[in-house]
Copies of this chain bind each other. A is one copy, B any other.
Amino acid sequence: MTQTTTQPTSYHHGDLRSALLAAANDILQQDGIDSLSLRKLSERVGVSRSAPYHHFKDKHALLCALAEQGFKELDHLLAATPLRMNENVATELRHFISNYIAFATQHPERYELMFGRTIWKTSQPTESLKQTAYKAFEHYAKMVNHFMAERKLPSTTASVTAPLRLAQASWATLHGLCRLQIDGVYINMEDITEVSEAALQAILKLD
């Protein structure tokens, strides 16, 4: 997929860091996280097994960088959501929801990596990753604020619930939806539209 060809073949690779990330992305997407080993990765890029250590402190650091790329793409997705409300609010939101779900379900391994415990638990995320991830969330929270400010979400909600809380709760719903679908636990692909519709109706408090 991405260029695995490294025709320079010189001792110094040139842009090994990018090449590693690209190849890692391919492996992640095609064969899953379990098949992503530094050794196979190095071999595919055409360098020795310990070359990556000059660009990433750890395997963990490489995974963080990979996740960070994902959050940047997610941020772009958020940026692409139109904030002009000429349309029906429900329609706009539906559009965003389906975009988010597509983002998650079309690259499940990456989504798992981005939000998974592997990266975020005690073995802490890179400072860089943290910032990128929080920027994406702020972006989302701002979007929610916008919707509410334009009176498109019921004002009763606004009075009861702080905007931040609504942002967190709605993200949690979206996130949980994606996780259950991705992991294939309680929701399968055919249901997910209807389930998200149910969630949307709850948030909009349509009667």
Binding site for B on A (CB under 8 A): 32, 108-109, 112, 115-117, 120-122, 133-134, 137, 154, 156-157, 160-162, 165-166, 168-169, 171-177, 179-180, 182-187, 191, 194-199, 201-203, 205-207
Contact = CB atoms under 8 A, between A and B. Distances in A.
A200 B154 CA distance: 16
Contacts of A108: 117, 121
Nearest to A124: B184
Q: Which of A174, A180, A186 has the most CB of B within 10 A?
A: A186
Given A172-B173, A180-B171, A185 B120 contact: yes
Residue among A161, A171, A205 with the highest chain B CB neighbour number at 10 A: A205
A72 B121 CA distance: 25
A195 B112 CA distance: 22
A172 B195 CA distance: 9
Contact of A173 (B32, B173, B183, B205): B173
What copy number does this chain have within its complex? 2
Nearest to A179: B179
A117 B182 contact: yes
Given A121-B184, A205-B205, A195 B173 contact: no
Contacts of A186: 133-134, 137, 168, 171
A183 B112 contact: no
A137 B207 CA distance: 27
Given A156-B207, A201-B157, A185 B121 contact: no
Contacts of A194: 162, 165
